[in-house]
């Protein structure tokens, strides 16, 4: 299965994934620029901020409370923003499109 990360300049990174891996880990494993995951997935740094393509947002599940708190402090937050470490992938995310924010803390 594949996740597609798109940079602001439209550079695409196609990443293979196994279900159960978080979006943050997939980005790190594939050296996707701008995704750092500094806190190791503890929902405490915000450096795994990603914007899910509109049509895919429903597949990523609900934003949890700790995540909501971090996102509320993220200036670049978009309507479909998620923290990548809080989204576990599943098989039905094959083809998921993620847009990378312009600046990352």
Binding site for ligand FES (CB under 6 A): 24, 37-39, 41-48, 70, 83, 85
Shortest CB 50 distance to ligand FES, Å: 10
The 3-state DSSP class for residue 92 equals helix
* Position with the least CB separation from ligand FES: 85
Shortest CB 64 distance to ligand FES, Å: 11
Query: In terms of CB distance, is 40 or 95 closer to ligand FES?
Result: 40
Query: In terms of CB distance, is 39 or 63 closer to ligand FES?
Result: 39
CB distance 27 to 64 below 8 Å: no
| DSSP track, 8-35 | TT--EEEEE--TTSBHHHHHHHTT-TT-
Give the Cα separation of 98 and 81 in Å (integer).
10
């Amino acid at each position: 299965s594949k996740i597609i990360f798109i940079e602001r300049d439209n550079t695409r990174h196609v990443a293979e994934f196994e279900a159960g891996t978080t979006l943050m880990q997939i980005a790190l494993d594939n050296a996707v620029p701008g995704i750092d995951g500094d806190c190791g997935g503890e929902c405490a740094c915000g450096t795994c901020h990603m914007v899910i393509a509109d049509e895919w947002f429903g597949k990523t599940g609900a934003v949890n409370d700790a995540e909501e708190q971090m996102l509320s402090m993220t200036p670049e937050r978009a309507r479909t923003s998620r923290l990548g470490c809080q989204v576990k992938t599943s098989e039905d995310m094959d083809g998921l499109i993620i847009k990378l924010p312009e600046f990352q803390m």
